[in-house]
Each structure stands twice: as C-alpha cells, then as structure tokens.
C-alpha cells in the first residue's frame, strides 16, 4: 500500500469519514460542471429537496455542445440551446459562478480552470468528465465522476470512493526534437495498455516530466484515463507555481506565501512508497500515431501496423476488430495514409502552446486541397492570445478554418462531425469507433504538430521533416 | 403495452434473470451510448438508443436486438468494459434497456462507480469462466439467480463464486449505494473538514 506520496497526503487530508461499507467519504475541494453531465444531477437534487451545500466551491462553463461556427443565441440546434439554458438556469438558481460564452473565460472546462488559477496543488477536484485527470498536472488529485456523484458533490461536497493505489511512471532522459508530450503519453499507454491503470492513480515523474511545460504536463495527465487511470498527477515545482501566480483566482499577497509553503510540503519524496513503479526511456519515443480503435493501439511514425502474431493473446481480439473497422492491413505502414479531415483542439491539445507549435509548422505552407482542416481553440483566452500573436492568420492563410472555442469534433456533440468513413488526423484523445460523429468514421490520434504536417501533405507525415 | 421503467431502490440482495452475452474487450462508453444521445436533460429515453451504432451496423444481429434476449437482465461481458468517457448515460441506457446486473472479466473505474451509484452490481469472474458462460449462452438460455450476501450465482446445476468489491457488496445489502443520505449524515464532519482545509481562502474570489 502506498505511503507518503502526494496522492496519500492529499487523500488523507480530504477524508471526512470511513463509511459503513468501507469506502472513504472524500471532500471535494473544487467541483467543475458543464452542460452535459449536470442537468440530471440538479434534477435529482430537486427531487430529493436538497440544496447545493457550498455553491462557491462549484464553477461552471459550457463546452461540449457549443457550435464553433456561429455561437449567436438561440443556437440553431434546439437540443443544444435547451442544454445551455438549463445550465444557465441551474447556476442562477443555485448561485454558482458560470463562465458563459462571451465572458472572456468560457472554454473547455479543463482548459479554463487552470488558466483562471482555480486549479491548484493539493486540492481534490472532481467534474462529470473523464478528462478531469488533466488538473493533476498541478499536483491536485483530480478525477472524473458520473452524474449521480455530481449530485452527491452538489448536495454534500463529498463522494463515496475507495482509495486508489499509486503507480509511479518514471520517465528517464528527455524527449527528442520533434517529439511532444502527446507522443510520450501515447507511448506510455501503448506500453502499459489501456486497462493497466484500473484501480490506480498514476504519478508521472522523472527528468523527462520535469522538463515539460505546464501545458505539456496537462496533456500527459489528461490522457491518464486512456490508460485506465481515472487520476494522474505530477508533483508541483517552480514551473507549477509560476504558472499559477497572478492568475485571476490565484492566491494573492500574504495568501500566496502561505500557499507556496503548503504546496511545497505536498510532494512525494525519497520516503514515499508506491504500489508499483515503472521506468521508461523518453528519449526513445518517436512521433506516435494511433492505427486502431483504442488509444493503446499506436505505433511510431516509421513503424508498421502490427501483425496479429506480434500481439499478446489479450490484444488480438481488439486488433482484429481494429483492422476491419479502420480498413488497415496488418504490416502496412501508417506513414502516408491519406487523411480527409484535420482537427486541432480538445482538452488534450487545444492550448496556446499547441496552437503555436502547429502554426510554426503551417507558416508559409498550404493545406492539401483534399483535406478539410480546422482549429478550435480550447478557450476564449486561448483564442484571444492566439489572435494577439497572429496565429489565427497563419492558420487561415494555410487553409485551416479558425473556429470558436469548445470541445467540437473531439466527441462531435455539435455539428463538427466526420462523414461516412472519413479518416481524421486529430489532436484529441479518443479514437473509439464512431467517436468523431460518424458511426464509420476513422480517427488517427497524434500531436498537433503531426496534425499540421498531415494537413499539408494530405497524408500521415513525419513532422520532423517540416521543422529544423 | 410499454412497460414503465422503475429504477432500483433500497437494499439489493437478489437479482435473477436471463443472461445476455456481449463479446469484446475494451467496449467503451461511446459505443454503449454515442455522444449525440447525450443531448438531453434527463435519462428517460436512453434505453432505446443503447449500442445504437453497433446495432445499426449489425442490422438486427446485435445481441440487444435478438428476440430471445428481449427480456434478459444480466449482461455478461469481457475485459475493460465501459472504458472511456465518464458519462453515466452509459449505465443508465443499459439499465433502461433492462439490465440489472453485469458479470465481466473487468470493468473501467468510472463506469464501475457509476453502476454502483445507480444500483447495478458489477461482478467479476475469470476470463476462462466468462468465456465458458458466453459459449453456453450462444447455444442455450442461461438463467442465473444472484445471491449478493454470499456473492453466488446459481443455476439448476451450477454454482459460480462471483467476485465483487467488499465495499460495493455491503453498500448493495444496506441500500447505501444510493449514497447521498449516508453522506449527509456526516454534515458536521463535512463542515469541520471545510474549515480545516488550508486552501479554502486561497481562492479568495470564490468565498
């Protein structure tokens, strides 16, 4: 059983009681909500005649259903309009702070909370969204919950949960030129498998993690859930503190110094005990692309799609399904696979640094005429900053469509969808069957830089051929 | 006449019914309920859309479309069932279709918690046993009687030792799986915790 890790310290601090069944009752320090998984929770509260216990500990934004072309109200899609109206009403009635479209702070919930300084080390953070693990990049314990647990957090600010085990994933050395956090996390999921993290929190550590920026760290923690771990985190350091400093909701004045002292005391250290430790060499990671229907089915850009015989018995069943669905032949190269749609955005890779990297690849280049390419900034703040830096113009000049912030084609709840069996090169997080809006649509996950390279060539390409 | 859905309530100690088998590892919640069906402010109509895209692809041959499975209540699955999105809409859709319990090789974490929170027990068995059960169901009907207290599933001539997390088993037997009221019993402790946490004042704008 783990001891003295950041996870243990934060969990123990937030434990309210041991419930009769043996689960822990855990206090949730920050609760984030959005329009998709909260309406039924507010409904249940009403049915039970309960109030929101600490309205100031819940913050809302709208992201999943928002259109990215025309955001004027009412939305063209009646159901989407009904969802945003329901959220507006619930927030108003329950005195919950809501960052709506046009507030300057709307966006994907996992992009917004960190850039507002809401996400801080040592907190427990829950949200009705599996990519809540993103916030672990700051040394918080953050995880996705379902709607019934959203109801419980609203009513009690606590949930019933069993403590997770802790696995440290130690990443030696550092990433090579042209290789990004996305490649590293896809590599980790491929190495460990998509269910290795069940029952675990992942602590990402080592020199390759320390050298990453905060936004890159968010990309890593974001995809913990794709490896089965509902929670992933990184111990906070000077980069964490300087990212938070001066953000809207960051501690100010004497509170800042108190916060800093406390945050520094939380880290795992040489006395920490883990349930498991895995070591890997980050310098060996290459630009990585998924070829299948789970985020674990990935290869580096110059590799061939694995033969059935090369896979473990456990992986064969899904591999067979993947060959058929993706129309790939075992042994085929992934490089040069034609793509129809290129999507840059999502809570994994829709931040300003992602847009900068992609814009650098696209500068003075044109998107292939066979490709529909669009970029969806992760938030209004990201969009504003990108415009200030002239990135929007670089994207537009290259042939990318510049859109308004939201989740968009990561899960295709708005009108941004694949059509038929189109192939997308996508900076998002899931390549599940039908994920991007067409029941036969095919998704290749990769870094935003690799999406940009694929957009130019109209084929899956090695971004290292585009950058110096 | 269409049956009216009634959600489970209180103690869950016995579940009996016909099994339905669904083969495949890593069946994600996007497949259980595609995202376009999440555009709703209640769960009421999700049952008919469960596995919508998989069912359309199989044109009536999907287990959830077969006439003989129409009244099944116990779903038998393989490994990492329910991975991906945290959408509770997935177990809600299964429940509204008629599923009352799931037996599988393994489950994704958030899906498992969601099932517990809405009153669907998830049990595990070894890969070998699951495959034997699935092979059996391919040819014959299998009716199981699940006894929560002893974690057993019985048929006329077979007894299976089901595995379930002890905390989940206790919660089903006590009714505490519907957690809100149990959590609220500790209201004083919650207030104390709130006052003790070092960071509540750090987000000064929120107070």
Interface of A with B in 290-309 (CB under 8 A): 293-294
Query: d(Cα A110, Cα A172) in Å, to the nearest integer?
Result: 27
Q: Does domain A289-465 have CATH number 3.30.499.10?
A: yes
In 3D space, the residue among B129, B153, B172, B88 whose CA is nearest the CA of residue A150 turns out to be: B88
The reply to whether residue A29 touches residue B197, judged by beta carbons under 8 angstroms, is yes
pLDDT at B156: 85
| CATH class of the A6-264 domain in this structure | alpha beta
Contacts of B30 in chain A (CB under 8 A): 411, 430, 432-435
Domain spans of chain A, in order of start: 6-264, 289-465
The reply to whether residue B182 touches residue A318, judged by beta carbons under 8 angstroms, is no
Q: Which alpha helices (H) appear in chain B, and where do they start and end?
A: 29-32, 52-58, 89-97, 109-118, 127-139, 166-174, 180-184, 187-196
> Which residue of chain A comes nearest to B199, CA vs CA?
A259
Query: d(Cα A212, Cα A185) in Å, to the nearest integer?
Result: 12
pLDDT at B203: 75
Question: Is A221 within any annotated ligand binding site?
Answer: no
Contacts of B126 in chain A (CB under 8 A): none
> Which candidate in A26, A86, A146 is best for mutational testing of the B interface (most B CBs within 10 A)?
A146
Bridge partners, A423 (sequence order): A442
pLDDT at A214: 98
Element (H, E) at A440: none
Number of A:B CB contacts under 8 A?
A: 234
Interface of B with A in 87-116 (CB under 8 A): 87-89, 91, 106-110, 113-114
B28 touching A, CB under 8 A? yes
Residue A115 tokens, joined: 């850039």
pLDDT at A166: 98
**Residue A402 to chain B, least CA–CA distance (Å):** 24
Give chain A's residues under pLDDT 50: none
Is this prediction's ipTM beyond 0.90?
A: yes
B135 touching A, CB under 8 A? no
Query: d(Cα B177, Cα A270) in Å, to the nearest integer?
Result: 39
**φ and ψ of A394, to 5 deg:** -60, -45
The reply to whether residue B201 touches residue A22, judged by beta carbons under 8 angstroms, is no
Bridge partners, A444 (sequence order): A425
> Which residue of chain B comes nearest to A30, CA vs CA?
B200
A53 touching B, CB under 8 A? yes
Contacts of A56 in chain B (CB under 8 A): 206-207
For the CA atoms of A176, A180, A181, A185, what is the dihedral angle to 10 degrees? -80
pLDDT at A115: 97
> Which candidate in A13, A64, A160 is best for mutational testing of the B interface (most B CBs within 10 A)?
A160
Contacts of A433 in chain B (CB under 8 A): 30-31, 53-54
CA A76 to chain centre: 28
Q: For residue A152, what are the contacts with CB-CB under 8 A and spacing of at least 6? A: A158, A159, A160, B117, B179, B180, B183
Upstream peptide bond of A74 is cis (omega within 30 degrees of 0): yes
**Alpha carbon distances (Å) from B144 to B71, B112, B159:** 13, 21, 9
pLDDT at B109: 98
Query: d(Cα A277, Cα A339) in Å, to the nearest integer?
Result: 38
Query: d(Cα A467, Cα B138) in Å, to the nearest integer?
Result: 55
Cβ neighbours of A285 (radius 10 Å)? 24
pLDDT at B1: 40
B79 touching A, CB under 8 A? yes
| CATH class of the B14-177 domain in this structure | alpha beta
| Topology match between the domains A6-264 and A289-465 | yes
Q: pLDDT tens across B122-163, in order?
A: 999 999 999 999 999 999 999 999 999 999 999 988 899 999
Q: For residue B100, what are the contacts with CB-CB under 8 A and spacing of at least 6? A: B8, B15, B17, B73, B74, B120
A59 touching B, CB under 8 A? yes
Whole-angstrom Cα Rg for chain A: 21
Q: Rounded mean pLDDT of B95-108?
A: 98
**Alpha carbon distances (Å) from A305 to A14, A121, A387, B198:** 45, 40, 39, 51
In 3D space, the residue among A176, A228, A171, A221 whose CA is nearest the CA of residue A198 turns out to be: A228
Handedness of CA A208, A210, A216, A220 (dihedral sign): positive
Residue A228 tokens, joined: 């089965």
With H, G, I as helix, E, B as strand and everything else as coil, classify residue A184: helix
**φ and ψ of A271, to 5 deg:** -90, -5
Query: d(Cα A340, Cα B68) in Å, to the nearest integer?
Result: 41
Sheet holding A165-172, edge to edge: A231-233, A200-205, A165-172, A276-281
Tokens 């059983």 identify what position? A1
> Which residue of chain B comes nearest to A98, CA vs CA?
B206
Q: Strands, E, within A146-264: which ranges?
A: 158-161, 165-172, 200-205, 231-233
């Amino acid at each position: 059983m783990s001891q003295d890790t950041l996870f243990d310290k934060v969990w123990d601090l937030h434990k309210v009681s041991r419930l009769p069944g043996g689960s822990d009752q855990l206090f949730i320090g920050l609760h984030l909500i959005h329009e998709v998984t909260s309406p039924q929770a507010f409904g249940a509260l009403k049915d039970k005649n309960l109030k929101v216990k600490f309205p100031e500990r819940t913050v809302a934004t709208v992201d999943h259903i928002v259109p990215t072309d025309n955001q004027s109200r009412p939305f063209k899609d009646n159901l989407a309009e009904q969802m945003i109206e329901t959220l507006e009403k619930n927030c108003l009635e329950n005195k919950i702070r809501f960052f709506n479209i046009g507030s300057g702070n709307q966006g994907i919930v996992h992009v917004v909370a960190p850039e507002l300084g809401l996400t801080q080390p040592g907190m427990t953070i829950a949200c009705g969204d599996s990519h809540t693990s993103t916030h672990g990049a700051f040394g918080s314990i953050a995880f996705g919950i379902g709607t019934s647990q959203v109801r419980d957090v609203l009513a009690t600010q606590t949930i019933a949960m069993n403590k997770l085990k802790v696995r440290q994933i130690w990443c030696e050395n550092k990433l090579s030129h042209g290789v990004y956090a996305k490649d590293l996390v896809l590599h980790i999921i491929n190495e460990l498998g998509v269910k290795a993290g069940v029952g675990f929190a992942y602590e990402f550590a080592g020199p390759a993690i320390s050298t990453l920026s905060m936004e890159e760290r968010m990309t890593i923690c974001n995809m913990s859930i794709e490896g089965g771990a509902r929670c992933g985190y990184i111990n906070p350091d000077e980069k964490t503190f300087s990212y938070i400093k001066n953000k809207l909701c960051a501690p100010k004045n004497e509170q800042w110094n108190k916060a800093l002292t406390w945050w520094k005391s939380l880290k795992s250290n040489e006395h920490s005990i883990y349930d498991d430790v895995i070591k890997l060499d980050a310098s060996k990671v290459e630009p990585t692309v998924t070829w299948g229907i789970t985020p674990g089915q990935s290869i580096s850009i110059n590799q061939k799609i694995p033969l059935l015989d090369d896979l473990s018995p456990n992986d064969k069943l899904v591999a067979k399904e993947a060959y058929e669905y993706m129309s790939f032949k075992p042994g085929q190269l992934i490089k040069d696979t034609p793509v129809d749609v290129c999507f840059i955005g999502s809570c994994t890779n829709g931040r300003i640094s992602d847009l900068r990297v992609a814009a650098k690849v696209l500068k003075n280049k044109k998107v292939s005429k066979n490709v529909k390419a669009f970029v969806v900034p992760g938030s209004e703040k990201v969009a504003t900053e990108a415009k200030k830096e002239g990135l929007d113009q670089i994207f537009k000049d290259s042939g990318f469509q510049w859109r308004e912030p939201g989740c968009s084609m990561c899960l295709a709840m708005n009108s941004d969808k694949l059509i038929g069996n189109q192939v997308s090169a996508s900076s998002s997080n899931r390549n599940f069957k039908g994920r991007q809006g067409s029941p036969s649509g095919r998704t290749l996950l990769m870094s935003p830089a690799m999406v940009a390279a694929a957009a130019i060539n109209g084929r899956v390409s090695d971004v290292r051929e585009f950058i110096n | 006449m269409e049956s009216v859905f009634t959600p489970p309530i209180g103690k869950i100690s016995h579940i009996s019914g016909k099994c339905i088998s669904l083969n495949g590892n890593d069946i994600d919640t996007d497949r259980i309920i595609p995202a376009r069906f999440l555009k709703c402010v209640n769960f009421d109509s999700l049952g008919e859309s469960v596995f919508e895209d998989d069912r359309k692809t199989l044109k009536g041959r999907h287990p959830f479309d077969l006439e003989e499975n129409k009244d099944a209540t116990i779903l038998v699955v393989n490994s990492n069932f329910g991975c991906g999105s945290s959408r509770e809409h997935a177990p809600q859709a299964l429940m509204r279709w008629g599923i009352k319990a799931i037996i599988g090789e393994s489950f994704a974490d958030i899906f498992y918690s969601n099932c517990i929170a809405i009153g669907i027990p998830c049990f595990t068995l070894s890969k070998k046993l699951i495959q034997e059960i699935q092979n059996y169901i391919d040819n014959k009907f299998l009716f199981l009687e699940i006894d929560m207290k002893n974690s057993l599933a019985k048929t006329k001539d077979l007894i299976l030792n089901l595995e379930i997390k002890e905390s989940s088993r206790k919660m089903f037997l006590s009714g505490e799986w519907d957690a809100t009221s149990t959590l609220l019993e500790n209201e004083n402790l919650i207030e104390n915790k709130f006052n003790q946490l070092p960071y509540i004042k750090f987000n000064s704008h929120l107070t």
